[in-house]
Structure 1
Amino acid sequence: MNAKSRAHYDKQRELVYAREQGRCVVCLKPITAGSVHHRQGRGGPDPHRLSNLLLTCGSGTTGCHGRIHANPAWSYDNGFMVRRHGVLRPEDVPVRYGDVMVHLTNSWEPR
């Protein structure tokens, strides 16, 4: 990742942390250090857009981030993952926040 891409990704990570109010989107617990999960992976177009990013506790193998990757059917059902094949984009697939499903946009919106 070049310096310009890294700066963009770092800014997007800050916005995701603010949007989620420092809480993991899965367990809703406050976290001081978490990871940013890519709902549709990094191989698609504009992988670092806000609708594609979620704040999670743990890493890709631990905590809720690990739970997302270990349970793909559950993750797709709850919008934590978005299939790469087909016509759906992350902004088209709602994400579960507690008891509600929410569509994410690519602009910063406080919760």
Structure 2
Amino acid sequence: MNRRSRAYYDRQRRRAWERDKGRCIVCGRTAESVHHRQGRSGPDPHRDANLLTVCGDGVRGCHGEIHAQPSASYAYGRMVPRLGIRTPEATPVLTRSGWVLLDNNGGSTATTPMKETA
């Protein structure tokens, strides 16, 4: 990651940290890492709606559970498929406070779960 990209990523991580008040969105413990809902490939992977603050590091804690339980993570909006029409901005996520839609301005709006279509 070049210096310019790293500075942008660090800035976006801080914005996610502020939005989530430094707490894990799943359990409420102190957040230790930032999870990319749709992975890091594709255009602007570090946008606000794609980032969640979580405890753990991808192997342990809630971050580890997100990766270890992909079916549940997709159902709860904590992961968003890379292929298809769903985007992080349009996919509700279940947080410790309930279902929300994340925007790219550092905010969130209460919502209801997304209905799965066949």
**Following TM superposition, by how much is the alpha carbon of 1:28 offset from its aligned partner in structure 2, in angstroms?**
1.6
TM-score w.r.t. length of structure 2: 0.87
CA contact (8 A) 2:100 2:108 kept: no
Instruction: Show the counterpart of 2:35.
Output: 37
Q: Distance in 2 between matches of 1:45 and 1:70?
A: 25
Instruction: Show the counterpart of 1:3.
Output: 3
Q: Distance in 2 between matches of 1:101 and 1:44?
A: 25
Q: Distance in 2 between matches of 1:110 and 1:54?
A: 12
Instruction: Show the counterpart of 2:58.
Output: 60
**Following TM superposition, by how much is the alpha carbon of 1:47 offset from its aligned partner in structure 2, in angstroms?**
0.3
Q: Distance in 1 between matches of 2:95 and 2:34?
A: 16
CA contact (8 A) 2:101 2:108 kept: no
CA contact (8 A) 2:32 2:53 kept: yes
TM-score w.r.t. length of structure 1: 0.92
Give the paired residue count: 109
Q: Distance in 1 between matches of 2:15 and 2:95?
A: 17
Instruction: Show the counterpart of 1:27.
Output: 27
Q: Distance in 2 between matches of 1:49 and 1:99?
A: 21
Instruction: Show the counterpart of 2:104.
Output: 106
Unpaired segments of 5 or more residues in structure 2? 110-118
CA contact (8 A) 1:79 1:96 kept: yes
Unpaired segments of 5 or more residues in structure 1? none
CA contact (8 A) 1:18 1:110 kept: no
- Give the ranges of 4+ consecutive aligned residues of structure 1 lying more than 3 Å apart after TM superposition: none
Q: Distance in 1 between matches of 2:98 and 2:108?
A: 16
Q: Distance in 2 between matches of 1:26 and 1:77?
A: 14
Cα-to-partner distance string for 1:15-60 (whole Å, 9 max, x where unaligned): 111100111011122x1x5110000000121100000000000001
Distance 1:85 1:14, change over 3 A: same
Instruction: Show the counterpart of 2:90.
Output: 92
